[in-house]
Amino acid sequence: MWTEDDFQYAAENTQVILAPEQQISTFGSTSFRFYLISELMDQVNEVRVRDGRIHADRPQIVTPEHYARLLLEGFGDKAQRYVEQLRHRMRDAAVLRYGFQFRKTEVTENRVSDSLEAVIARTKQKVETAEEPLSAIIQGVDDAWEVCLLKFTIDLIERSAGGNIGDFRSRGLL
């Protein structure tokens, strides 16, 4: 059974190596490619690279109660329990938030026999060479990788919020 400490450990050990160049679009859906890189806990120089997409639907300004009903399609039990902890912490929030429905799709996994640093460097070079501006490279915890992905996504929302709210205001929607 996972404890709050387990979720906290996964969240604290989520590091964005390369962030997408674009924020979440205010008036349309946005799709980001992610590479989540993690060391296997029981083997030396064994790294797992998960490659997939995160889709964020068009944002909507909502109350904290609506945010608490955040829908996660395709995420497992560990990510769901992490969201429950977030819901509990945010129940007294008195500010407006905006919610999305998140979907992770097209996830593939590859195991690589090399150091974590070498795998990260090669992945970063691949993304930069391919000019993938909507890609992110995330270093995380292997057994809680969905929690790490969700942490990245929530941080992306927070970084996008100011611009999205400004866009809503400029169009008279707030």
In our burial notation (b when 16+ CB lie closer than 10 A, e otherwise), range 16-53 reads bebbbeebbbbeeebebbbbbbbbeeeeeebbbbbbbe
Sketch the domain layout of the chain as residue ranges: 4-170
Residue-level pLDDT at 132: 83
Q: Structure pTM? A: 0.73
Residue-level pLDDT at 48: 96
Return the structure tokens found at 91.
């129940």
- Please determine, for residue 17, whether its predicted confidence score (pLDDT) is greater than 80: yes
pLDDT tens profile 87-111: 676 655 434 344 445 566 778 899 9
Strands 30-39 and 135-141 come out as parallel
Residue-level pLDDT at 68: 43
pLDDT tens profile 145-173: 988 998 998 888 888 877 877 877 787 77
Strands 97-99 and 60-62 come out as antiparallel
pLDDT tens profile 43-79: 889 999 999 988 877 776 654 445 445 556 667 777 7
Residue-level pLDDT at 90: 62
Residue-level pLDDT at 81: 77
- Please determine, for residue 144, whether its predicted confidence score (pLDDT) is greater than 70: yes
Could you tell me which of 30, 146, 31, 160 has the C-alpha nearest to residue 97?
A: 160
How far apart are alpha carbons 4 and 143 in whole angstroms?
A: 15
Q: State the chain's maximal CA–CA distance in angstroms.
A: 56
Helices (H) and strands (E) in the chain, counts: 5, 8
pLDDT tens profile 112-138: 999 999 999 999 999 999 888 889 999
